[in-house]
Amino acid sequence: MRIFKFGGASVKDAAGIRNVYEVLQIVGHEDVLLVVSAMGKTTNALEVVVKNYMDKSKELKESLQDVKKYHSEILLDLFEDDKHKVFSDVAAHFADMEYFLGHNKSPNYNFVYDQIVSYGELISTVILSHYMNYRSISTTWIDVRNFIKTDSTFRDANVDWEQTQKNISKNVKRKQLNITQGFLGSDENGFTTTLGREGSDYTAAIFAYCLNADSVTIWKDVPGVMNADPRYFENATLLNQISYREAIELAFYGATVIHPKTLQPLQGKEIPLYVKSFLNPKLPGTSVSKGADLDPQLSCFIVKKNQLLISLSSIDFSFIMEENISEIFALLHKYKMKVSLIQNSAISFSVCVDDKFGNFQELKATLSKKFKVSYNENVSLYTIRHFDDKASKMVEKDKKVLVKQISRETLQIVTLES
């Protein structure tokens, strides 16, 4: 079985849905499982719904209507008959969402987030499944929440691999086209959970691992994995083949083409990963597999925007020792700060983090009891794998460097843009 993952950009409109059909006609669709994200920017739009709901905003109804209208326009473009079953199936999901909004009693933002945002994937896969059937490709729509079981860490759930393995190996039927949702799971109480933003790649890897799949293909709007993000760097070069190790390093440092959690389950069973273009499906793309670390050997550039640089110093000029660092990391874990860079001296400690849950003010209040806290918001973290002087100078040009760190193969700098 092959696992294909199609992200939001590939199904952002009716033309995108039609293109997925064309891609499947070219590469085949028998014994395939499709993992599909929400359409376009639907996740962002549903986040607005969640915010309006939690804030008890008068704009809640309008924000929900915007999501309905967006999907309705796609449906009307794809299906000539507005009595087609897809219309009632999509309407049923929106009705379920509105029922939750009307009856929920939990004040937990992360819980509410997962219950609402998940409808993006449920609705996109319903539309895609019906369209494939409409175009004479028979599909089986499956609810991923019945397969991937997790703990109750809403918005960043951990997979219960033993139960998930049983569910998938026993119930996923082969020799057909299965369509399911990325990003989602459910806890032991049956509540929807999510695996973290951009988690659909991880979903594909979970299914591949549990099914001993032949391969995973992530379909993107780029030719494959580039050595730099073309939005920020000129003359980005396609990487034809990279090893699991190199891909894990790139993903860890923030390369957005592959989700960081995706590689480990694939590497464990040596399942190859391909990153290919849904605009040009015949192109070879990038192969991630066992082999040389990087081919060709060239510098790889990664940038993470909107980071937070926190610098701590001891109030009484005492050393910041192991017990202090242990306490700091416990707090970073508690407040869900993703650490990207660490640097310390005798009486200071700096860390560059991603505050994706907006917990910094609480963390700062706690840290201020023991340390002098200074910080810079909206900094950029640049990482260069296999760096040289030319690459370093190019990145540092016209920027104020706040932190610079060099190891054998990797250079990282935290900058304020000029």
Residue stretches of the annotated binding site for ATP: 5-8, 231
Give the C-alpha separation, 127 to 283, whole Å. Answer: 27
Spatial neighbors of 212 by CB under 8 A, at least 6 apart, are 269, 271
Residue 164's SS3 state is helix
Helices (H) and strands (E) in the chain, counts: 13, 17
Assigned token pair, 346: 């005798």
Give the C-alpha separation, 235 to 221, whole Å. Answer: 17
Residues that constitute the known binding site for substrate: 43, 121
Amino acid at 381: L
Distance from the Cα of residue 109 to its chain's centroid: 19
Edge-first strand order for the sheet with 399-406 is: 338-344, 348-354, 300-314, 371-385, 410-417, 399-406
DSSP string, 261-309: TSHHHHHHTT--EEEEESSSTTS--EEEESS-SEES---EEEEEEEEEE
Alpha helices in 5-59 (DSSP H): 14-27, 42-54
Residues that constitute the known binding site: 5-8, 43, 121, 231
Spatial neighbors of 39 by CB under 8 A, at least 6 apart, are 8, 11, 12, 13, 16, 70, 71, 74, 120, 123, 124, 127
The secondary structure of the chain in percent helix, strand, coil, rounded to multiples of 5, reads: 40, 25, 35
Assigned token pair, 284: 């070879």
Residue 53's SS3 state is helix
